[in-house]
Amino acid sequence: MIQKKDLKIVMVLYRELQYRAAEKDPSIEGEEELKKKIKEASNVKKKMLKQSLLFLPFGLMLSTPMFAADEEGIIAAVMTSVAVVPFVFALYNTVAQCAQLDSLGVFEPLKSLPIDVRSKQLSLLLSIDLIPLFSFALPAVIYLLIFHPLNGILAALWVLTGFLIGHTLGFVVYSEFGFKLGSGGSSDLLKTVLKVAGLIAFMGLFFAWNFLQDVLIARADMLLRYSVVYPLSAGAIFDPVQNFITLILHLALIIPLYLYVVNRVWKRLLKKKEVSIRKKKSQYHVSSKSAVRSLLMKDLKMLFRRTSSLVGFLIPILIILPQVVMSVQDDGLTLLQTSAFIFLLAAFGIMALESILSVDSNSIDFLKTLPLKKKTYVESKVLSLSIIPIAVSLVLVGLGTYFDPITLITIPYAFLLPLISSSIVLSYLFSYEDEKIGIPDFSFVNDFLKFILLMILVGIAFGAIALPLFTLPILYGVPLSYLIACLVLFYLYLRRN
Amino acid sequence: MISVKNLTKYYGEKAAVKDLSFEVKEGEIYGLLGPNGSGKTTTMRILSGIIEPSSGRAEVQGLNVKEHPVEVKKKVGFIPENPKTFESLTTIELFNLIGSIRGIEEKKLRKKLNRLVKAFELEEYMNQYVGSLSFGTKQKVSIISAILHDPEVIIIDEAMNGLDPKMAKIFREILFNLKNKGKSMIFSTHVLPLAEMVCDRVGMIAGGQLITEGTVEDLKEKSHEKDLEDVFLKLTKSETEVSRVVNALRGSM
């Protein structure tokens, strides 16, 4: 049971987390501003209410088709997309917050005290940022509770289950990939590639199951078109009996997994970090590259050594993966489809921002002692944020070219678009007047309005670039689109200088 | 050379450093001594270009730290009390990163590293993650990181705490060597015999203000005390406080 004392510890820890993040934010000037920010952030009830109200309009937007046409098919489609939101955010937020808790060592002061600190406090702490996300689903759930009460109850239960699944999988990802550093040996690259592939496969598991269900089960006429896997199962609430059984099965799987993994993460958070030590003495290699390149290499090494930090990069892949699979299944990828996926990947690529910024959270004081200009630091971060979307976009171009060779001409998009979206968000976050470097305090859940603003800015730039591509013949549209993209990138570069 | 004039730094309404003035000449080791919370670390961080002063002027090699923090950092090597750096980089990766950011030529970097790594007995740790190193070894890494670029000014904030006696002696020798090359150094420590051994002049601060400065011998003479610890306790007005606390403890333990 949750006691008052547990809540008190959670509040202290939450306040500590807010303080440590705000302390590193270079845009916060002086003690007074810091105090104000901490005071605001530490009023948990007010903050949760504010966040909930903030997410509500987006929930309304998501649910509008349901209000407009009260049809089972539309309700199923809306519920499926509504159910994805808490799942994705809970997964992402759990991994990101665990990484933050681990690197900031907020539990350290409690270790020596005679307090019974247990894993439930960890979940409680993480749920402060997760609970307001329920607002995304609230309009749809309330609508269903009023007009289809039984189905509404199921919808609410599915949304809560989605939270639990995302939260649990976040713990699984962090416990498997978050604690141990690689050995630094020659086989590390292969291991990392395999780990990343494993992560993508793991996160795409639900879509893969659905694909299998479509191909094998539905064709065998065994279960017709009934969806048994979350989040598609959240849209199947009009088969209440089967749906309830599916829900129970999901919970029967996820609750024991949650109980197991939350304790595992908790124990490992309390333990000293595992760091591999190479026993063999070997010659070290001295090399000196440009500052931007060295900072980029540093970020990549750190990200690939703690694979859990890559989750931010995997979210955009997870978002486009089902659509890519569906397009490939239909008639293969066209030039326009490939371009559209690259645009989407680059736009959602900014979701890795938190991972890229938090890489330096423990070492920012050290970086401040080096003669590093803000411009150099921001440029390295632009490259770090772009590099994985560029690599994935190139894979997409390769795939598109296999189906339609002319798709090869989209290669420049693979480079330009991720660089543009990264430049926009980082120029915005580092737009404070001061020249000092630091880590802007930013999280997608807590700064959702900022995130939407950044998406709008990226959307405007991408809209201008995409307009000639989708409206003019390819011969004129593509070169004009590249010209605009180059101009936008050049403008962003000039702004940094 | 370091020049500090009327330096003041406020954190909110509290002044951490107040109207502080002193100078450190070329080839001089200046000790900054003071009780906890006296403003030593704040002063060191201002001089390293990490934080800005609220008012007053601080210059390093003629550069104003507020106006040219990046240029100042090029000339300064800062060794902090708690070395916090990239724990998932190996030691050599960290040195390579510092070399790149500081623009040290590869050949020079190799030569310098070979000497320093050998001096600090770090060879076997070069391919290990910094996070796996002990506090003392991290401190050695931090020292090398700070002097790798041959800085004109070295700022040392209680940085000898983690070193064993052998390494502390090696570090002292390195400091004397750098001093002979004309480098200016500012050194804060709580270990007063160490300050006595290393520093040409010392300044004592309390409550963010300089209360006295001079050579160790001058200070002893002025305050009629035998060693620096007694001078320190007398000048920081801690003598009576120490006796009161000691007596109180005797009664309660």
Q: Rounded distance, CA B113 to CA B96, Å?
A: 10
Name the band, by pLDDT with cuts 50, 70 and 90, for residue B183: very high
- Residue of higher predicted confidence among A386 and A215: A386
Note whether A306 contacts B: Cβ–Cβ < 8 A.
yes
Tokens of A177: 């990939």
- Residue of higher predicted confidence among A146 and A116: A146
Query: Which chain B residue lies closest to A292 (C-alpha atoms)?
Result: B101
Contact assignment for A371 to B71 by CB distance below 8 Å: yes
With CA atoms as reference, report the closest residue to B154 among B83, B225, B48, B32: B48
- Sequence-distant (6+) residues with CB within 8 A of A376 are A291, A292, A295
Residues, chain B: 253
For residue A220, the model assigns a pLDDT of 45
For residue B2, the model assigns a pLDDT of 94
The average pLDDT across A467-492 equals: 92
For residue A199, the model assigns a pLDDT of 59
Name the band, by pLDDT with cuts 50, 70 and 90, for residue A243: confident
Q: Catalogue all structural domains in chain B, each as residue range(s) with its CATH number.
A: 2-252 (3.40.50.300)
Tokens of B70: 């990046």
Q: Would you say residue B244 has pLDDT above 60?
A: yes
C-alpha neighbours within 13 Å on the C-beta side of residue B27? 3
- A338 near A407, Cβ under 8 Å? yes
For residue A170, the model assigns a pLDDT of 85
With CA atoms as reference, report the closest residue to A173 among A306, A300, A356: A306
Residue B51 Rama label (left phi>0; alpha psi -120 to 50; beta)? beta
Give the best residue of A303, A369, A432 to mutate against chain B (max B CB count within 10 A): A369
- Residue of higher predicted confidence among A47 and A105: A47
Query: Which chain A residue lies closest to B113 (C-alpha atoms)?
Result: A286
For residue B146, the model assigns a pLDDT of 93
The distance of A355 to chain B (nearest Cα, Å) reads 15
Neighbours of B92 (CB within 10 A): 21
Q: Would you say residue A298 has pLDDT above 70?
A: yes
Q: Hey, is B13 helix, strand or coil?
A: coil
Name the band, by pLDDT with cuts 50, 70 and 90, for residue B113: very high
The average pLDDT across A142-146 equals: 91
Dihedral, A377, A378, A384, A386 alpha carbons, nearest 10: -160
Average pLDDT, chain B: 87
Q: What is the ipTM of this complex?
A: 0.78
The distance of A258 to chain B (nearest Cα, Å) reads 29
Instruction: Name chain B contacts of A368, Cβ cutoff 8 Å.
Output: 50
Q: Which residues of A328-352 are buried (b: 16+ CB within 10 A; e: fewer)?
A: eeeeebebbbbbbbbbbbbbbbbbb
Neighbours of A183 (CB within 10 A): 17
Q: Which residue has the tokens 């001079």?
A: B214
Amino acid at A349: G
Q: Rounded distance, CA A485 to CA A481, Å?
A: 6
Most confident range (mean pLDDT) of A225-234, A254-263, A414-423, B27-36 is A414-423
* Number of helices and strands in chain A (H, E): 20, 0
Percent of chain A with pLDDT over 90: 26
- Sequence-distant (6+) residues with CB within 8 A of A118 are A6, A266
Q: pLDDT tens digits for B30-72?
A: 999 888 888 999 999 999 998 889 999 999 999 999 999 999 9
Q: Rounded distance, CA B191 to CA B189, Å?
A: 5
* Per-position DSSP letters for A2-24, written without gaps between them: --HHHHHHHHHHHHHHHHHHHHT
Residue B90 per-residue DSSP state: B
For residue A192, the model assigns a pLDDT of 59
Average pLDDT, chain A: 81
How much is the pTM?
0.77
For residue A321, the model assigns a pLDDT of 77
Instruction: Name chain A contacts of B86, Cβ cutoff 8 Å.
Output: 298, 302, 360, 362-363, 366
The average pLDDT across A30-43 equals: 76
Instruction: Name chain A contacts of B78, Cβ cutoff 8 Å.
Output: 369
Instruction: Name chain B contacts of A369, Cβ cutoff 8 Å.
Output: 48, 50, 73, 76, 78, 80, 146
